[in-house]
Chains A and B, each alone.
Chain A
Amino acid sequence: MQIYLPIAEMAVQAETIALLGAVVGVISGVFGVGGGFLTTPFLIFLGIPPAVAVGTQASQLVASSTTAVIGHWKKRNIDLKMAWYLLIGGFIGTVVGIFIFRLLQYIGQVDLVVSVLYVVFLCAIGGMMLSESVTTLYHSTFKKDNADDEGTSQTPSKPSYWDHLRATLPYKVQFPESRLYISAIIPIVIGIIGGLMVSVMGIGAGFLLVPAMIYMLRMPPLLVAGTTLLQILITSAIACILHAVMNQTVDLILASILIGGSVIGAQIGVRLSPYIKGATARFLLASIITIVGLRLASDLLIPPENLYSLVVR
């Protein structure tokens, strides 16, 4: 069924959008990522103006992460104190990011910066996670010596530069639920990066936050998904309102279809998540991220059929 989008000012196939929402919902429920890295490129691929894609999918991030956050909340899988520190950074990052986005619009290089950032982040993170999860899977399958240390298997045996920095940074805070005693600067900086990505790239950046919290904060993986999703929920709500106020690029009709698909998908995802765990989950997520990254990279590398494009002011 074709439906006309009042803000994007074009017609789209409603079923395609709903299916996209559902797939993203499942992914967000299983992996604790918002799924924006999938939604934004696919919406643009369907012909939605990039600004509308970025602005609208922020609302879909709110919906898909709400469902998942409540699921994790019931299971007590959220470190609230950690979430607060992440949010302080997230708020700063979102506001700064909106200004960067405006600056890029002024210079006229938004497309370039966004697509290069997408490729670099997706391929780098996807590649790193792939190699790590394959190594872990290999060890757990063939060595059978780490059956009960899923969460600590990534810890390097000798102290690295990062371990040293982590130990010496000031403003240390207790995070009882995560059993961590670390500098508040680390979660705040992670939050700032998350906020920047939401406003500049239009993604929740769960694919970046999840590994950052596993590898940099060394949070228990069980708490990572829920805590990340809470951070994504609130920063994307802020970003969505800012996009609506500053750019009028949030399409309610498009949002409704996407959200309809994603809330159902998220319910399925939350039920699936107990069966997909640890290294297997990271391997699957890494594969999806890498494939999307390579697909976007091919747009930059393959000579385009039509060299020219139009922008109507």
Chain B
Amino acid sequence: MRIFIFVLFVLISPAHAKLDIDISEPNLEITTGFTGDTLTLFGTAQPKGDIIILVKGPRKDTTVRRKANVMGLWLHGRSMTFRDVWGYYNIASSKPIADIASPDILAQYNMGLNSLVFIPKGKEKQSDISRFTEALIQNKQLSGLYALTPNAVDFLNDSLFKTTINMPANVPLGDYEIEAFLFRNGQLIDQETHPFNIAQVGIAANVHDFAYHRPFLYGISVILLALLSSLIAIVLLRRE
């Protein structure tokens, strides 16, 4: 329904609107049943061109730790902390991004994993930085939080396009940005940013709020739950 209204709106809107996007769910709501989700993203581009869409999650300082062999034991050795690393990064494009825009433009707008810049805290050797950066991206990819390859953006007709974005169950909570870019012959014609939020709702949210706002009461409740359930079990499973 949302998509239908959006398409209707786009069709009757003035012609100068070159690029518009909308998403199947305005915000991703995480309940206790959440096991990951697929977002559908719709947009219109006039005139038709090449589309790149970025989905970027909340930024946090992230430490990469490397295990090292110390006297036969594999222990945490060197580590490097990067500032403001995207917790989630996904990309979709209508054709390979290298064919859409020049490397300079791709780098300028953080398009593609190769154009992401990770800045370590403190002074580090360049060779170490690239080693740890590579490890950071690989680990994020293993946990499904960074795109392995760009998703496809499909044009449904001359102006309407669609893509799907996968959100795994371990997706970080917080504020996201969805950025859409319209290119024509390698030139950026229009861009649009769409905010997006992932938050817990229902029981999950209540538990989370309780734990963070009333930690002492929360701790007591967990203990009471433990005591009560074992008492109930004793009564129910009593031997005659």
Contacts and interface: CB of A to CB of B under 8 A. Distances in A.
Interface of A: 2-4, 6-7, 9-11, 59-60, 62-64, 66-67, 70-71, 108-109, 111-112, 116, 237, 240-245, 248, 250-253, 255-256, 259-260, 263-264, 266-267, 271, 299-304, 306-313
A263 B74 contact: no
Nearest to A62: B226
Contacts of A260: 229
B207 interface: yes
A312 B230 contact: no
Nearest to B131: A308
B103 interface: no
Q: Chain A interface secondary structure, helix, strand, loop or mixed?
A: helix
Given A2-B169, A66-B230, A259-B230, 11 more contacts: A4-B30, A11-B34, A60-B226, A241-B216, A253-B207, A259-B225, A301-B73, A301-B74, A307-B135, A312-B172, A313-B62
B4 interface: no
**How many B residues touch the partner, as a band?**
35 or more
Nearest to B79: A108
Contacts of B204: 4, 6, 253
A226 to B, nearest CB: 15
Interface of B: 30-36, 60-67, 69, 72-76, 79, 81, 85, 87, 132, 135-136, 138-140, 142, 169-170, 172-173, 200, 203-205, 207-208, 210-212, 215-216, 218-223, 225-227, 229-234, 237, 239
A252 B229 CA distance: 13
Given A60-B226, A308-B64, A300 B75 contact: yes
Given A264-B237, A308-B138, A244 B230 contact: no
A208 B234 CA distance: 27
Contacts of B220: 241
Contacts of B211: 6-7, 244, 248, 250, 252
Most buried by B among A62, A299, A308: A308
Contacts of A303: 69, 74
Contacts of A59: 222-223, 225-226
A310 B233 contact: no
A110 B209 CA distance: 27
Contacts of A243: 219
A63 B33 contact: no
A122 to B, nearest CB: 16
5 contacts: A11-B34, A244-B211, A310-B140, A312-B63, A312-B172
A66 B87 contact: no
A248 B216 CA distance: 10
A175 B174 CA distance: 57
